[in-house]
Amino acid sequence: MNQPIFLATGNAHKAREFAAMFAAAALPWTIESAAALGGMPPVEETANTFAGNAMLKARALRAKAPPEALVLADDSGLEVDALGRAPGVFSARYAGPGATDAENTAKLLQELDGFPPRQRRARFVCVLALIDAAGGEHTFLGSCRGRIGTALAGAGGFGYDPVFYPDGQTQTYAELGDEVKNRLSHRGKALEKLFAYLRARAPQVAAPETTPTLK
């Protein structure tokens, strides 16, 4: 019987997404949302790094989880070189608390107004934080470099996807489609490292033939 990994999020969509990715990876763990433990406790994301904030969320849920359980959390965002790596850990609230994706993206484009392409370099970053049954803490970093466009392009994805062009691509994250985006994405790369770690704990599990599809 598969063992649960509790995901430190109150977002049901994210929990379903991670559950599907784990199922596709054919690992002997399944994702359970924080709702299974009575809900995600409030966490003030006070760290100045993605790894720090991811671990804060993981620790908060670990306090509610069974002793033998694993807990997983993630934190991600966009870093723009010309803006001193802003919005960074403030990516989800760049335009202020409660800001929408559209408002955050609009502020980003405004801040970069007039910057030539060579000064619009950026990268997406994702850090997954895992706390194992023994209390060991592990982080897995994934990143994707690219540049910020001058206008929205594409209807897919979310957040800053419509303005981010990965290196080597002429389309934004929002235009590429799931299969291509997930092969290049920061989250996909972080997950590859996490899955490799988990397979080392369960060597009888064969690696999947393809990278799991993120929705």
pLDDT reported for residue 150: 96
Amino acid of residue 23: A
Q: So what's the pLDDT on residue 1?
A: 60
Comparing C-alpha atoms, which of 202, 94, 213 is closest to residue 148?
94
Count CB atoms within 10 A of the CB of residue 163. Answer: 26
The whole model's pTM is what?
0.85
- Please report, as a single letter, which amino acid is at residue 212: P
CB 104 within 8 A of CB 94: yes
d(CA 135, CA 83): 37
Cβ atoms within 10 Å of 132's Cβ, excluding its own: 17
CATH architecture of 3-201: Alpha-Beta Complex (3.90)
At 203 the pLDDT is: 53
User: Would you write out the chain's pLDDT as a tens digit for each of its 215 residues?
Assistant: 678 899 998 877 678 778 878 888 888 888 999 999 999 999 999 999 999 999 999 999 999 999 888 999 999 999 999 999 999 999 999 999 989 999 999 999 999 999 999 999 999 999 999 999 889 999 999 999 999 999 999 988 789 999 999 999 999 999 998 778 878 889 889 999 999 999 988 754 444 444 444 44
DSSP-H helix ranges across the chain: 12-24, 50-62, 101-111, 173-176, 178-184, 186-201
DSSP secondary structure code for residue 157 in this structure: S
136 Cβ contact list (under 8 Å, min separation 6): none
Catalytic residues: 75
**pLDDT at residue 207 in the model:** 43
The pLDDT value recorded for residue 153 is: 95
